[in-house]
Chain A
Amino acid sequence: MDRFVFLTVDGLARGAVLAVFALALVLIWRAARIVNFAQGAMAVATAYAAASITDATGSYWLGFAGALAGGLLLGVAVERGVMRLVHAGNQLSPVIVALGLVLLIQAVLGMIYGNEYRPIGAPVGRTAYVVGGVPTVSPFDLFVFGTVAALVGLLALLFTRTDLGLKMRAAAFAPEVSRLLGVNVAGMLTVGWALASAAGTLAALLSIPTGLGLHPTAMDLVFVSAFTAAIIGGLDSPPGAVIGGLGVGLLLSYVTGYLGGELASVAVTTLLVVVLLVRPDGLIATTKARRA
């Protein structure tokens, strides 16, 4: 029972981070029809920035805020500086460019900081509260849940209740018509990239303290799991990303806890293949018109 509670809490915390990361992927996919394979590397870059700021100032929160700001800027830079220049029409080109960005960012980080694992601080402790003899959540888990809930709530508000959110949805849904109606479509795309990149940064700041530490490739596995989660949920659906993220997080936690860590990736792959065999466009997918 102790073990089950521990694994469930751990799985939900892991899943919450995956959900944020998957949401970031969904944001860009909906806006630009691009899967941002560089998301993980971009998030790690900003996490290094957070660590540097915290080292220099001694304040975790300054580093946290700096990293989020850096995430926004990096998203803008990648969209304006690289992705916008890629020739549209071939769905492979953005994927390859993003993979190139991954190599470049990771290599540059390795040159600046070295390829060793660096510890990264957490704002609150990671020892679990004991309720009735059973260890339950840790302050850090609560921090993760709180931050993720706040982010998801803010994004939902942004997209359903504000003009900016409406414009972003319009620009993604019907670019030509939106442009005619006076929406700055290119600008909305940049905003989408900036938001997604900042969300990725948040996921990195929440997940790296629970892993081995800061490393240029620290987010690679998180990226793969989150991408899997986004696909399971359906790439077009933000609620799907959250459901997929929590599901994959729980599965990873249970399999690692009860069956052994080496089975974790096989289990996630099996889940993905089974879901895709039943629903080729993910769990939450709108019905497409029949084409032939």
Chain B
Amino acid sequence: MTRRWIIYAATALALYALATTLEPFRAYQLATAAAYFCAAAGLTVLTGLSGQLSLGHGAFMAIGAYTVALTQNGLADAGATGAWLLGISLLAAVLVNVVAGAVIGLAGARLHGPYLAGATLAIAVAVPSVPVIFRESLGGEQGLPVYAEPAPVDVPYERWQAWIAVTGALIVAAGLANLLRSRYGRELRAVRDDEVAARLAGVPVARVRVQAFVVSAAGAGLGGGLLAFLAQSVSPGAFPLTLSLFLLMAIVIGGLGSLAGAAWGAALLVVLPDLAHEITASLSLSPATEQRLAGNLPLAIFGLVLIVTMIVAPGGVQGALTRVVRRRRTTAPPS
């Protein structure tokens, strides 16, 4: 127990120090990865642990982001000031998503495999068109600006953003880690591994499923809210179908079913496009070829990594790491 809290404190300190030493652009990237982590961790609970495949987590992120935008702007219009406003907005994003997750979870609890995937996919496609329908209040395709207070301490704004986002990610990580080690976490895994056996053992399968949706939507809502705070604007274009698919791929490449896997995946989502961009820039190609490669090379690499990972190492990064560590331990000479 105490050991766990020491690990949390050490991670928090390390990330805090990292955010302080990084240059503003890198701090912003760290913040983005932290926001993705919140959503990916939520998806890990749903897909990795309760076995429900969601292709629509981008929709939950969009709901969270728009909630933050509306609350921030509403509070600012009402004349409220102070750094605590953001906390209220993020909390609102989580609460709204708890409701949304409960509704969708109730509808989805009866669905299995591809049927659930299809339903969530349709939701991911439909949600971005909602702001276009309610053009007056939600701003249509252009979206809404998000009012943001200046940082209360004198640091580059990106560093302030990184601190906030990393704090959010740590809260999610600690909360979920505790939740998954509890009775509820065991019930989740029981439902995933064998529904009939779980039911016979007295696990309320339907309730566990819906609760997984709620927890998962809350994480995605916080992630989306943080993204809105980072970008200081929200628009339907920021939450396309590909975002939902990328989240799913991230947790799979990272290692399905573990929070560390979600962290790896979130980091990959930020690092991979950047890396591919640097590769294309270093190749000194003609401008036309470079333009063609620019948007496509990261996607090609991501796709290839995904296919190869699934075939060669289905456990993802975290699975491979665990295997290496175990092998070390078993082959190490007795001391």
A residues lining the B interface (CB < 8 Å): 29, 35, 82, 85-87, 90-93, 95-97, 99-108, 110-111, 114-115, 220-221, 224, 227-228, 230-231, 235, 262-263, 265-266, 268-269, 272-273, 276-277, 280-282, 291-292
B27 to chain A, nearest CB (A): 29
- Asked if A272 meets B118 with Cβ closer than 8 Å, knowing A93-B310, A99-B306, the reply is yes
Within 8 A of A (CB), among B141-200: 195-196, 199-200
The answer to whether B293 touches A280, judged by C-beta atoms less than 8 angstroms apart, is no
Residue B33, interface by CB 8 Å? no
The answer to whether A269 touches B125, judged by C-beta atoms less than 8 angstroms apart, is yes
Query: Which residues of chain A are within 8 angstroms of B305 by Cβ–Cβ distance?
Result: 100
Q: Mark B111-128, 1 if CB is under 8 A from A, else 0.
A: 111110111011101100
The answer to whether B302 touches A103, judged by C-beta atoms less than 8 angstroms apart, is yes
The answer to whether A115 touches B295, judged by C-beta atoms less than 8 angstroms apart, is yes
- Which B residue sits closest to A94, measured CB to CB? B310
- Which B residue sits closest to A231, measured CB to CB? B118
Residue B65, interface by CB 8 Å? no
Q: Which residue of the partner chain, among B113, B256, B300, contacts A103 with CB atoms under 8 Å?
A: B300
Query: Which residues of chain A are within 8 angstroms of B304 by Cβ–Cβ distance?
Result: 100, 104
Residue B133, interface by CB 8 Å? yes
The answer to whether B133 touches A97, judged by C-beta atoms less than 8 angstroms apart, is no
The answer to whether B303 touches A228, judged by C-beta atoms less than 8 angstroms apart, is no
The answer to whether A100 touches B249, judged by C-beta atoms less than 8 angstroms apart, is yes
Q: What are 20 A-B contacts with C-beta separation under 8 Å?
A: A82-B311, A86-B310, A87-B310, A87-B314, A91-B53, A92-B47, A96-B248, A99-B249, A103-B306, A224-B121, A228-B118, A230-B118, A231-B119, A263-B129, A265-B125, A272-B119, A273-B107, A276-B119, A281-B115, A292-B196
- Which A residue sits closest to B47, measured CB to CB? A92
Bound together, the chains give a CA A102 to CA B314 distance in angstroms of 19
- Asked if A110 meets B292 with Cβ closer than 8 Å, knowing A92-B252, A224-B121, A265-B125, the reply is yes
Q: Which 3 A-B pairs have the closest CB atoms?
A: A103-B303, A100-B306, A104-B303
Bound together, the chains give a CA A108 to CA B114 distance in angstroms of 27
Q: Mark B305-334, 1 if CB is under 8 A from A, else 0.
A: 111001100100000000000000000000
A272 to chain B, nearest CB (A): 5
Which one of A100, A221, A276 has the highest number of Cβ atoms from chain B below 10 Å of its Cβ? A100
Query: Which residues of chain A are within 8 angstroms of B314 by Cβ–Cβ distance?
Result: 87, 90, 93
A292 to chain B, nearest CB (A): 4
Bound together, the chains give a CA A224 to CA B3 distance in angstroms of 47
- Asked if A95 meets B117 with Cβ closer than 8 Å, knowing A100-B304, A115-B296, the reply is yes
Bound together, the chains give a CA A142 to CA B251 distance in angstroms of 46
